[in-house]
Amino acid sequence: MTTLRGFAFMMAVALVPQLAFGDLPGPAPTIGEIVTECVEEYPTPRSRTTIGIGELVNLSIDPDSWVDPDIPIGSGNPYDYDELSEITWTANGDGTVYPTVGASTQLVADLCSLNGSVTVEASAEDAGLGDDPPVIKQANFSLEIPSGENVIGCIHGPFGAGNTHVGMRTNFAIQIAPATVNFSRVKFREDREAVDVTFPDGVTNIKQPQAFIPPMGGNVSTQAGLPNIHGDLLGDAPNPKAALLKAGMWANFNWERKVDQQFQDKNGMWNKFHSVVHKREYDASNLKARTGIDGTEWGGWMGPFGAQ
């Protein structure tokens, strides 16, 4: 049987507020910035955020940089430090990221047909001790498409021994612009117009149908620290010297061909980004010949030589 004194004690205990335990959000959590590194070694710096279409970029955040002080309730400690739960990654714009969870990810830039951009966002969340809002970090990238090309060198030959034939053969080293980004994952080709070439003798004829030529298998490469390099082999098959005879006299001769440079986008479409003119010249005074691009970049004069 409960006495009046015991009943009064139980009522007093019931009316005393109970001590709460747990944590409240303290100062906002922090984490380090996103570190970016282009997969291709060139061009430098690899931390650049202007990239070529198709480029790969590694991104990471140091999980040890996470700091999340929460305020404990009913504890004598000034702070409890909540752990990092996870980092999730998303890409908004012209690119994708994978994996989407973890301390690091990789951006794959889209093969755009026009210049573009992409923002990669990392969302770092706590383990729920103080239930803070996630910490958001961003890295912004500009994407560039091919815009032109530059000749950076050339080599000639090989040729047969003798002096019965005229012609030329030059392999031009071409760098796709801009050289400040990397296009190693882009497919390229040349769209060469159809031309019929008749030499001064009126007999020798070179039929050049339209041709789609993929340089170096369609891709460019890095050579000696220079990105976006491919070779462009230009020339004429060796023709008998008599091809340059007109009415019994040696005659100067030249012909040219328009070429559109194209790259392939993510939809499989070919996009023109530059046009050049491939030229051939024959000098009647010494029966030498050369080839060039746009009349500004020339291989050396060569020949005559033997049949190949």
Average pLDDT over residues 25-49: 95
Percent of the chain with pLDDT strictly greater than 70: 91
Return the number of other C-beta atoms located less than 10 Å from residue 272's C-beta.
Answer: 11
C-beta separation of 141 from 107 below 8 A: yes
**Spatial separation of the C-alpha atoms in residues 9 and 28, rounded to whole Å:** 44
How far separated are the first and last CA of the chain, in Å rounded? 123
Q: Is the pLDDT of residue 246 over 70?
A: yes
Residues 6 or more apart whose CB falls under 8 angstroms from that of 148 comprise 176, 177, 178, 273, 274
Give the range among 2-11, 70-79, 298-307 with minimum mean pLDDT: 2-11
Assigned token pair, 148: 């032109």
Question: Where along the chain do its domains lie?
Answer: 22-144, 148-306
Binning pLDDT at 50, 70 and 90, where does residue 109 land? very high
Average pLDDT over residues 146-173: 91
Assigned token pair, 116: 């573009």
Average pLDDT over residues 274-290: 96
Work out the burial of residue 123: count CB atoms within 10 Å of its CB; fewer than 13 is exposed, 13-18 middle, 19 or more buried: middle
Q: Which residue has the higher pLDDT, 77 or 6?
A: 77
Topology adopted by domain 22-144: Immunoglobulin-like (2.60.40)
pLDDT digits (tens, 9 = 90+) for 220-243: 999 999 999 999 999 987 899 999
CA 5 to chain centroid: 85
C-beta separation of 56 from 38 below 8 A: yes
Residue in 230, 229, 238, 231 with CA at minimum distance from that of residue 280: 238
**Spatial separation of the C-alpha atoms in residues 302 and 297, rounded to whole Å:** 15
Q: Is the pLDDT of residue 142 over 60?
A: yes
pLDDT, residue 75, reads 65
Binning pLDDT at 50, 70 and 90, where does residue 16 land? very low
Q: Which residue has the higher pLDDT, 38 or 72?
A: 38
C-beta separation of 72 from 23 below 8 A: yes
Residues 6 or more apart whose CB falls under 8 angstroms from that of 212 comprise 189, 190, 191, 192
DSSP state of 218: G
Binning pLDDT at 50, 70 and 90, where does residue 10 land? very low
pLDDT, residue 21, reads 52
> What mean pLDDT, rounded, does the chain reach?
90
Binning pLDDT at 50, 70 and 90, where does residue 4 land? very low
